[in-house]
Structure 1
């Protein structure tokens, strides 16, 4: 296999990892935005986004017990989004170097 072919494959893998991380962080960010805008919780789109964001941020959604609801949502879900972006983009950079 040529060097160009390996780099092309690594570039595609890096792009896939980066897009996955961006998508996960985007879902979480969109849910936080809808929460802050007081979106209708009985709306199907809001429900789907909330379920997806809660699943993605399951490890961090109750990390801190903050008394103000909107701050708790922003902090706990925001941590998950930032971690996904940091890990995904760091991994993508490393894959591109291969």
Structure 2
């Protein structure tokens, strides 16, 4: 059950809350890939491959935006841009949905 307090805390509607959660999960997957890359996780591990594939698909528009050295910095910047954009746009859209 959604109470008035819950609606105020989470943005007013189920749609807005869903949009926020989706944006947060997308950013978390991308952030997890950045962390796994920086920590030099085993690329033969199925979980690492899954996270890499998911992050690459989600950040397909930005993963090779800049060609930087060293490689970890390139991953941090390019995937980080995508994560921030998903968070910003998702939360902005959720705020607009909750007002209507």
TM (norm. structure 2) is: 0.87
The residue number in structure 1 matching 2:52 is: 50
* Residues in 2 aligned to 1:85 and 1:59: alpha-carbon distance in whole angstroms: 15
Q: Which residue of 1 aligns with 2:28?
A: 26
Structure-2 residue corresponding to 1:69: 71
Aligned length: 91
Report the 3-state secondary structure (helix = DSSP H, G, I; strand = E; otherwise coil) of the residue aligned with 2:79.
helix
The one-character-per-residue Cα deviations of 1:20-72 (angstroms, maximum 9, x if unpaired) are 00010000000100111110000000000000000000000000011210100
In structure 2, distance between residues paired with 1:70 and 1:34: 10
Q: For the residues of structure 2 that align with 1:91 and 1:33, how far apart are their CA atoms? A: 27
Residue of structure 2 aligned with 1:88, choices 72, 78, 90: 90
Q: Please give the root-mean-square deviation of Cα atoms over the aligned residues, in Å.
A: 1.5
Note the C-alpha offset of 1:79: 0.2
Give the corresponding residue for 2:4.
Answer: none
Could you tell me which runs of 5 or more consecutive residues in structure 1 were left unpaired when the two chains were aligned: 1-6
